Structure 1
Amino acid sequence: MINLTIKSPEIIFVTIKSPEIINVTIKSPEIINVTIKSPEMINVTIKSHEIINLTIKSHEMTNLTIKSPEIIIVTIKSPEMINLTIKSPEIIFVTIKSPEIINVTIKSPEIINVTIKSPEMINVTIKSHEIINLTIKSHEMTNLTIKSPEIIIVTIKSPEMINLTIKSHEIINVTIKSPEMTNLTIKSPEIIIVTIKSPEMTNLTIKSPEIIIVTIKSPEMINLTIKSPEIIIVTIK
């Protein structure tokens, strides 16, 4: 399949199975179920006012762009993914499973559940006004940036992490488990619970006017900086 363009006021079921897809563009105010299965995919663009279920399975994916004011469930499975961009005012469930991810950008004022599982991850940027659950599991992670005024639960599990930056007006629970961590920066006016477990840590900076509980477990730590006018409990092991 070289070029596929679908324009429809309402799409109920769309299933695309192709060994090779070059360009796929789907424009529809309402999409119920979209399933795309392709070993090779170059460009996929989906624009819809409402998407209920979107499932993409592809062995190789270069560019994937999803623009929708409302997305209920998005599941993406791809061994190789170069660029993934999701823009939506409201996202309910997003699950991304890919052994290799180069660039992932998620922009949404409200995100309920985001799960990213990838052995190798280069750049991940998540911008959201509100994040409920964010889970990232990656064997290697280079850059991770999370910008959200309100974060409820963030869980990051990565054996190797280079740069991690979390900027949030309010953070409830943050759990980071990583055997090796180079730079970790957390900036938040209010942090309730932060738990960091890492055998090796180079730089850790926490800036927050109010911190309730901070627990850091690391056998080796080079630089640790905590700036906060009010700290309730800090435990360093």
Structure 2
Amino acid sequence: MTTGLHEIPGLTGCADAGTDAPAASGDAQATQEAVAAEPLDAAAVKTIVEKLVADESGAQVIDSAAIAESLPQAKKLVESMKIEPAECADLVVQQSSLDITGINMATAIVAGEKTGESTSYSVASYEDDAKLATAKKAAETKDLQGCDKFSMEMQGMKLNATAEILDATSDADLTVATKSNISMDGKEVPMGSLTLQGFVGPNMVSVAYSGEVEDEKTKLDELTKELNVAVAELNKAQ
């Protein structure tokens, strides 16, 4: 699951590698066969993300090495936040994926036509079996850990976030959709997001839209189509 981290400056590209994803699709046998697949190396993961944004001008793909270089700054940003309830701080740290050791990852962001609008793509392949097991276990619990509502204070601004798990299916072994909204001073700002994530064997793919959503179902359908393209690319790469 995600709880609004896509909208926090400085954490984009770091909020998906260890994200939790509830709601399963596909049978258990298919999942077991997929888990037996070998994880992809950093180059293969980057290639998949490049294919996902091949038709998007201005899209920049960030690979594992670049993400790793940005982590110290992201860690400092997370540590500077005042998060309430306090128990949600651990969840934010977990989702920020400040340790991607054993995870090959690549991300890309495509700016939308409207100010503040964007779509991000992320593919992570787990070489670390323990991290994969933890992520999948969390995926199956469908648990927001009591953090469906929390606040973050950063750089003098207090942001209130809400998160909700939505029903979703895709071609992935496990699929989850989450909706998050951000408000500041009691007023909702155009920083909400819809995120669709799927596990395919030792891999996780995420497609997230940030901005104003006029028709939730239509946008989810669009994200599902894009996620299925990513799933197909992952299956071809195995």
Q: TM-score range by the shorter chain?
A: under 0.3
State the structure with bigger RCO (CA 8 A, min sep 6), 1 or 2. 2
- Give the TM-score normalised by structure 1: 0.20
Q: With structure 2 as the length reference, what TM-score do the two structures score?
A: 0.20
Structure having the higher strand fraction is 1
**Higher radius of gyration, 1 or 2:** 1
